[in-house]
Chains A and B, each alone.
Chain A
């Protein structure tokens, strides 16, 4: 079909001016939007109130839908549990016996550990969680990796706080509304977590790659410091993240860099706990030389 002609200029001055004004407004709008982008670059927390309101409004719909998703997951789990009942029962009994032995050993180690720490006069400054809340949604259409947490400023959640689940670190609070907030997930490009490799104690930096994985880089160049299956935990360097939270497990090694997969899967529908911003304990300042 031949293309229809619309936006015909014709001879009407009014139509012509109207079209022209539309273009002018559009160009001005593009310039304004470029200004907004620039502001966002310089101050990522800009327009926090407006964004918070939208997060709150969205959480109402997402939270309502989440109930259905959870119910659907539960039905699937119930059915598969029924089919696996007998074999699972046997396996679990074996596992329980093994775990009991491990727990006894762990208790002994814990007592020993406490005694040694007392000897070394070490005390840990680990913060208590602010609260725990559900992760209800995310931004699945956007290029940034955010999850929506069902708690906001009214419960004391502030941007910058750490979010972790029982499996490990989930991310940081990025912006918060009144009763919902956005959590910057580990896989987002803005995330950079100082970690250490448990096997070697090697310090490294884990950064999100946006595709469900993180890149781990050693702070000291050269060598092959990583192995597949290495576990990375937060080192606590520089504050923000308190030390020894499990972060990721290394899945592929590429020279002195490695690809890691976060341990905590935010899609599990479990609760996530919000921790205050960790401040590394300040060591005693060196004594001033006497004049």
Chain B
């Protein structure tokens, strides 16, 4: 018998272990569907926050290109031009690969700092990429949701950690 039962090296990863991170990020992006009609961006980008939380907590679950399909879903839900989050999220993943090598010390505060820099940069980037030519929209319109996102990020990290425990529970 090649793969006897209980052999830990031959066990396949369970469905739940792979789908929970993807599904939770998609649900984060789908927070754009809450039934309020906003005349300015006020809801934090939960999809991006979930993505960063998973990437910081478990750097090894996703290959670098995983940000592409997740970004496409976020673009479709948020009404941006297709490609906006695809570019920004994948670049963020590539930069985080480098950050992982560069950082010699990690704790909660450093992760919060890394995520804050990412959230602010991506907010400004998505403002720049999503505006039509000749738009009068100021970059300051992204400020309220960005501040909210930075303040809420530790809570998102906790939720992600709880989901991670549930995902890997035997």
Q: Which residues of A contact B (CB under 8 A)?
A: 1-4, 6-7, 18, 22-23, 25-26, 29-30, 32-37, 39-41, 44, 46-47, 50-51, 54, 58, 61-63, 65-66, 68-69, 135-147, 182, 185, 187-190, 207-212, 215, 262, 265-267
**Chain B interface residue bracket vs A:** 35 or more
Stretch at the interface among B4-12, B14-22, B31-39, B154-162: B31-39
B64 engages A142 (CB within 8 Å): no
The 8 Å CB contact of B79, one of A39, A146, A208, is A146
Give Cα distance in the complex from A78 to B20, angstroms: 42
Give Cα distance in the complex from A36 to B21, angstroms: 26
B130 engages A142 (CB within 8 Å): yes
Q: How far is the CB of B26 from chain A (nearest CB, A)?
A: 12
A137 and B136 in contact, given A29-B86, A33-B87 (Cβ under 8 angstroms): no
Contact residues in A for B130 (Cβ distance below 8 Å): 142-144
Contact residues in B for A4 (Cβ distance below 8 Å): 106
Q: Which residues of B contact A (CB under 8 A)?
A: 30-47, 59-60, 63-65, 67-68, 71, 76-84, 86-87, 90-91, 93-94, 97, 100, 103-107, 126-127, 129-138, 140-142, 145
A3 engages B104 (CB within 8 Å): yes
Contact residues in B for A26 (Cβ distance below 8 Å): 63-65, 67-68, 90, 93-94
B46 engages A141 (CB within 8 Å): yes
Contact residues in A for B34 (Cβ distance below 8 Å): 62, 65, 137, 140
* Nearest CB in chain A to that of B85: its residue: A33
A7 engages B103 (CB within 8 Å): no
* Nearest CB in chain A to that of B62: its residue: A22
B142 engages A1 (CB within 8 Å): no
A143 and B80 in contact, given A3-B106, A215-B136 (Cβ under 8 angstroms): yes
